[in-house]
């Protein structure tokens, strides 16, 4: 059974066909991610800031200086992506980096400009997140977030197929 694509998944019946895209969580996560990113970019168009860059600013503003490796782990970024992002954000004057105490690690610190930008955009980012959840009835929102957090904390690398 194939359904026409609609903008409102809430009204779609649950289909028995697990191979149908609209029944695949990975596909639906990608749809939601695309829409969330679009909302974010629209709301912050004048700030030249990506969702990942906001994640870096927010994490440092809330938790303080940390190594580049720890920052990559906390923001679910791979090390090379984080390295490239830190370079771009340093060029904009949002971050500094220095050698850690062990001389091998690199510690990332927010500049005053980076801290001001984080404080400035956070209320808008929170509004975007609330707008995303507004599509759900109020009584489902907390459960939805609990389920998302559980899935995000799952180590899918240990799953085998076959």
pLDDT at 29: 95
Taking the model in full, what pTM does it have?
Answer: 0.83
Read off the pLDDT band of 4 (50, 70, 90).
very low
CA angle 117, 121, 127 (to 5 degrees): 170
Partner residues linked to 99 by β-bridges: 106
Average pLDDT, the chain: 90
CA distances from 99 to 19, 20, 106, 108, 109 (A): 49, 50, 5, 9, 11
- pLDDT tens digits for range 113-134: 999 999 999 999 999 999 999 9
Instruction: Kindly report, residue by residue over 15-30, the tens digit of the pLDDT.
Output: 567 888 888 999 999 9
* Model confidence band, residue 162 (pLDDT cutoffs 50, 70, 90): confident
What is the per-residue pLDDT for 19? 81
In this predicted model, what pLDDT tens digit does every residue of 81-117 receive, in sequence order?
A: 999 999 999 999 999 999 888 888 889 999 999 999 9
> pLDDT band for position 3 (50/70/90)?
very low
Domains along the chain with CATH numbers: 51-155 (1.10.10.10)
């Amino acid at each position: 059974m194939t359904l026409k694509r609609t903008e409102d998944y809430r009204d779609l019946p649950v289909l028995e066909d697990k191979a149908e895209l609209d029944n695949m969580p990975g596909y639906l996560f990608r749809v939601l991610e695309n829409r969330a990113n679009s909302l974010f970019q629209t709301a912050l168009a004048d700030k030249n800031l990506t969702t990942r860059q906001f994640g870096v600013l927010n994490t440092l503003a809330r938790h303080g200086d940390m190594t580049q490796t720890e920052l990559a782990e906390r923001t679910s970024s791979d090390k090379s992506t984080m390295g490239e992002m830190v370079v771009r954000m340093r060029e904009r004057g949002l971050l500094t980096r220095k050698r850690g105490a062990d001389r091998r690690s690199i510690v990332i610190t927010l500049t005053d400009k980076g801290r001001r930008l984080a404080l400035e955009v956070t209320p808008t980012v929170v509004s975007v997140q609330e707008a995303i959840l507004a599509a759900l009835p109020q009584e489902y929102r907390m459960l939805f977030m609990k389920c998302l957090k559980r899935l995000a904390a799952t180590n899918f690398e240990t799953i085998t197929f076959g």
